[in-house]
Amino acid sequence: MSRGSAMNIVKSALLALFFMIAAPALAQQEMHFDKEPLVIQTATGKMLNFTVEIATTNEQREYGLMFRKEMPENAGMIFDFGESRRVSMWMENTILPLDMLFIDSGGTIRHIKENATPYSRDIIDSIGEVKYVVELNAGVVKKLGIKVGDKVASPTTTRKK
């Protein structure tokens, strides 16, 4: 093998190694999300306060909480789908286990998925038509007693359409 061929092989190997390391890091770059306060009023009258990031564009909704390694207990993300429809979500590339609240256009929780499994490709279905999904850390729903029928309010859910 000539010295030139050996150098080309080394260059190709280094370039391949760079892309193997850099590509996942580039895919995990943080996307910007605005934040807003969100309140859940339980059937027992408790007011539960959160600060949620807002996902309104297709790109933001697709990215969601992927690659996050931690999230404060009183934090989450609200996905605004713009109109009521049946929603399917999954946890691929999502490190954190999550509780998902499926919310109708009036702010009522219609379905809850607790402890969604990280990295799973299993479809998590809204069961019916919803306009919003709120994702919280897994265990928050049980710990705080959040139930189907509870009310959710935030600037996103109360905005005049």
Give the Cα separation of 11 and 9 in Å (integer).
5
Residues with Cβ < 8 Å from 43, sequence gap 6 or more? 147, 149, 150
Q: Where are the domains of the chain?
A: 1-30, 32-158
Which amino acid is present at 46? K
Q: Model-level pTM greater than 0.75?
A: yes
Class of the CATH-defined domain 32-158: mainly beta
pLDDT in tens, 2-46: 565 555 555 554 444 444 454 454 444 578 899 999 999 999 999
Question: Could you please report the per-residue DSSP string of 31-44?
Answer: PP--EEEEEEE-TT
**Residue pair 114/142 in contact by the 8 Å Cβ criterion:** yes
pLDDT in tens, 110-146: 999 999 999 999 999 999 999 999 999 999 999 999 9
- Token pair listed for 87: 């929603």
